[in-house]
Structure 1
């Protein structure tokens, strides 16, 4: 049970596996005003930056669950580096269907709503781990600008335009699920640039070290087209945000 190797190659240099910057992740942690020693569950926790830095900065405790052995190991190393290994734990496993043994103050899934079959299913999955009055945190793409054609849709990693919503409709959708949006942090162009460009550098360095690997031709072709494709389509059309939700 693991992520495909091509994905971990792309993001082997990332600490945050979405287009939030370090500053934005810190802003989100401050904005939520979590109580002392708040218990956090982070599904699809990646390399653990949310839990580790919030444990250091805000005193949270919690658990991260991720299917990647590489990212889980990186998260544990990050916890040790920041001196919070006694406050957070990282579990290698499938986050789909994972429910905390005890209710948590905050349940999060940033950028991996496929674990619940979409936004609605992921919100319901997170709710099952949440104490009454607790906060849900969901990270999700949205259309910054309507895609003009199917080529743009595909370049933004969607099958159809309906896979993502414009920002107002995404926020309204949380309301239809019975939640108030009480905070949000939206990725900007700089965050997207850092996220995507870091992938290109990781791929290039991997190619230099592994020219004869079975994935080399696929990743060489990807690197040849990815920067211009991103600049032409994704940078202007695709947004991404994290939304804090409280049940009505």
Structure 2
């Protein structure tokens, strides 16, 4: 049980596996007015940057669940580096269907709502671990500009235009699920650039070192087309944000 290699190669230098800069992640932590001892659950926690930095900066505790063995190793190393290994724990496992043993104060899934079959299913999943009055964090794409053709839809990593919503519709969807949106921090084009462009450098450096690897042809094909596709389609059409929710 692990992520395909191409995913870990593409984001090998990333600490945040979404179009969020460290500054935006820190802004979100401050905006939530986190207090020491806040108990968090982070499903699909990646390299653990959110839990580790918030443990350092706000005194939270928590557990991250992720399917990537590389991500779990990085998260544990980051916790040790920041001196918070006694506050946060990282478990290798499938976050789909995971429910905390006891209710938590903060339940999050940042950019991986596929674990619940989409935003609605992930809200329901996280709600099963959240105490009454707790905070839920959902990281989700949305359309900045609605695509006019299927080519644009697919270039933005969707199968259908309906896979993502415009920002007002996404916010209203959370309301129909019984939650108030109480905070949000949105990616901008610069943070998208930092996320995507760093992938290209990772791929190129890996390819230079591993020209005969079985993945070399796949990496070369991606590196040849990804920058232009991003600039033509994704950068203009796709937004992303983290939304803080509280049950009504």
Q: TM-score, normalised by structure 2?
A: 0.99
Offset, 1:34: 1.9
Corresponding position of 2:247: 247
Distance 2:139 2:191 in 1: 14
Corresponding position of 1:170: 170
Per-residue CA deviations over 1:130-177 (Å, capped at 9, x if unaligned) read 111001000000000011211110100000100000000000000000
Offset, 1:125: 0.5
Per-residue CA deviations over 1:17-60 (Å, capped at 9, x if unaligned) read 00011000000000011232100000000000000000000000
Corresponding position of 1:227: 227
Secondary structure at the residue paired with 2:151?
helix
Distance 2:108 2:211 in 1: 38
Distance 1:107 1:124 in 2: 11
Distance 2:21 2:13 in 1: 14
Per-residue CA deviations over 1:52-102 (Å, capped at 9, x if unaligned) read 000000000000000000010000000000000000000000000111111
Distance 1:226 1:116 in 2: 28
Corresponding position of 1:25: 25
Offset, 1:209: 1.0
- Flag structure 2 segments of 5+ consecutive residues without an equivalent: none
1:118 and 2:118 are equivalent in the alignment: yes
Corresponding position of 1:190: 190
Corresponding position of 2:78: 78
Offset, 1:202: 0.7
Secondary structure at the residue paired with 1:185?
strand
Offset, 1:104: 0.5
Superposition RMSD in Å: 0.5
Distance 1:102 1:30 in 2: 25
Q: TM-score, normalised by structure 1?
A: 0.99
Secondary structure at the residue paired with 2:121?
helix
Secondary structure at the residue paired with 1:89?
strand
Aligned residue pairs total 248
> Which 4+ residue blocks in structure 1 deviate beyond 2 angstroms?
none
Superposed counterparts of 1:128-143, under 5 Å: 128-143=128-143
- Flag structure 1 segments of 5+ consecutive residues without an equivalent: none
Corresponding position of 1:209: 209
